[in-house]
């Protein structure tokens, strides 16, 4: 069932993103007098299509991993003389720039609308209260203690753990002092703490921004009750189901979820006997955790099970809500922040500060889409907004084949006063296809490695 939900979720996500992106191209092309021959969501054989009064074919194709807008263009096929004024290649360079830039712009607009809806409807976030501080860690040496509430990172206010993580991830590669602001438990004013860091989070896979500083977020006691069971993994093969409460592992009593996690992680490849309760009945099963290798080559056990949601105290939840007008500015600001963070991450990946193994392909997108859909509408909309921004940024990269590559050609045309030669564009096309193909293969490879 989880696999089906993931597939449905990713189809919805990619369908929305692609439709908005291509509609941006389509809408501006029509306004610039360009004839659009086809608007397709998906690739391959059309499953459904119709032609409007302008002669545009709208289609939904069999492979839902992209889409395209095909415009009248003399470089692709002969154009009748009476139709040449509607060809894309006959339009001014500024009109062509507008048509190409409209796709990524539509993705950024979709993100703004999504964030605006979240801010107006209101979202519940978790207060960034410290649950534990590891001895001798940078946070401990700086004076942070259990119960402190983080209020700022490098002078920027934070209101939730999401804010904290985004701020810390943006500091990958930071050397020197890292400034945190926190309000000690029972205090009315925040204090400043300076944490010395060196090559912060560099080449960590995946980045562990809080653990690296020695900080563990506060969380309620989670009972050892299964909330999710991954199809095909050890827990599912052993017959465990959501709602089962683990009572003991190899005869050792389990009182909370972390006790179960620790025993599983410490015994990769070893058979474990689990006693559990289902509908009041005591049962027993045996399973063997699979081996997972971390970035430091440490092996841990994994059974493919998640914890059931626990009740958070009201004082640990914070409602974030804005009025309709104020939410516009907040949505634009959040979209800008996420755009800059995405660009910064790409730059750090190119310079080696971030491991390329953090690339994600369709498998990871499908998994996260499903997880966010199961987590609730606000999580799903937030993920949709983030992915829309990522798609917009990716398409603006100056790589031939992508929108950014075409924009680069048009900027050169503006400077030179004449178009880039067909020979140069053909060479760029081959280079661009090789670059994008390599990137896609790398992302798919790392997807498969995560599954393995």
Active site residues: 22
**Residue-level length of the chain:** 452
Query: What residues are paired with 60 via a beta bridge?
Result: 41, 48
Burial 197-206 (b: 16+ CB within 10 A, else e): beebbbbbee
Distance between CA atoms of residues 225 and 247, nearest Å: 9
Distance between CA atoms of residues 169 and 158, nearest Å: 14
Distance between CA atoms of residues 334 and 112, nearest Å: 8
Judged on CB neighbours under 10 Å (0-12, 13-18, 19+), 50 is exposed
Tokens of 196: 């010395």
């Amino acid at each position: 069932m989880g696999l089906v939900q993931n597939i449905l979720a990713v189809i919805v996500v990619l369908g929305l993103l692609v439709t908005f992106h291509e509609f941006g191209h389509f809408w501006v092309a029509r306004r610039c007098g360009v004839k659009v021959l086809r608007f397709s969501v998906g690739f391959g054989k059309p499953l459904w299509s119709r032609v409007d009064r302008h002669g545009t074919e709208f289609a939904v194709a069999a492979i839902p991993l992209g889409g395209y807008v095909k415009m009248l263009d003399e470089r692709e096929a002969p154009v009748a003389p009476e139709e040449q004024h509607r060809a894309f290649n006959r339009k001014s360079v500024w009109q062509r720039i507008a048509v190409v830039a409209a796709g990524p712009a539509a993705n950024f607009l979709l993100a703004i609308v999504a964030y605006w809806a979240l801010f107006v409807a209101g979202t519940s976030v978790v207060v960034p209260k410290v649950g534990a501080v590891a001895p001798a860690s940078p946070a401990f040496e700086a004076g942070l203690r259990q119960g402190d509430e983080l209020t700022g990172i490098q002078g920027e206010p934070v209101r939730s753990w999401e804010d904290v993580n985004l701020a810390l991830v943006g500091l990958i590669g930071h050397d020197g002092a890292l400034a945190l602001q926190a309000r000690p438990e029972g205090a009315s004013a925040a204090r400043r703490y300076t944490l010395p860091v060196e090559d912060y989070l560099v080449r960590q896979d995946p980045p562990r921004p809080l653990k690296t500083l020695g900080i563990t977020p506060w969380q309620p006691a989670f009972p050892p009750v299964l909330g999710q069971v991954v199809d095909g993994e050890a827990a599912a093969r052993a017959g465990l189901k959501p709602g089962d409460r683990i009572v003991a592992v190899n005869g050792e009593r389990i009182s909370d979820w972390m006790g179960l996690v620790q025993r599983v992680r410490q015994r990769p490849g070893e058979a474990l006997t689990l006693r559990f309760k289902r509908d009041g009945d005591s049962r027993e099963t045996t399973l063997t955790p699979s081996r997972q290798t971390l970035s430091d080559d440490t092996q841990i056990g994994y059974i493919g099970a998640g914890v059931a949601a626990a009740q958070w105290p009201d004082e640990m939840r914070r409602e974030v809500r804005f009025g309709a007008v104020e939410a516009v500015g907040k949505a634009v600001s959040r979209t800008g922040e996420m755009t800059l963070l995405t660009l910064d991450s790409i730059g750090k990946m190119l310079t080696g500060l971030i491991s390329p193994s953090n690339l994600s392909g369709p498998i990871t997108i499908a998994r996260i889409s499903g997880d966010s859909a199961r987590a609730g509408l606000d999580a799903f909309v937030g993920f949709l907004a983030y992915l829309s921004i990522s798609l917009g940024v990716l398409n603006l990269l100056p790589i031939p084949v992508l929108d950014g590559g075409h924009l680069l050609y048009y900027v050169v045309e503006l400077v030179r006063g004449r178009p880039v030669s067909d020979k140069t564009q053909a060479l760029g096309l081959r280079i661009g296809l090789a670059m994008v193909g390599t990137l896609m293969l790398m992302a798919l490879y790392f997807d498969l490695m995560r599954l393995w």
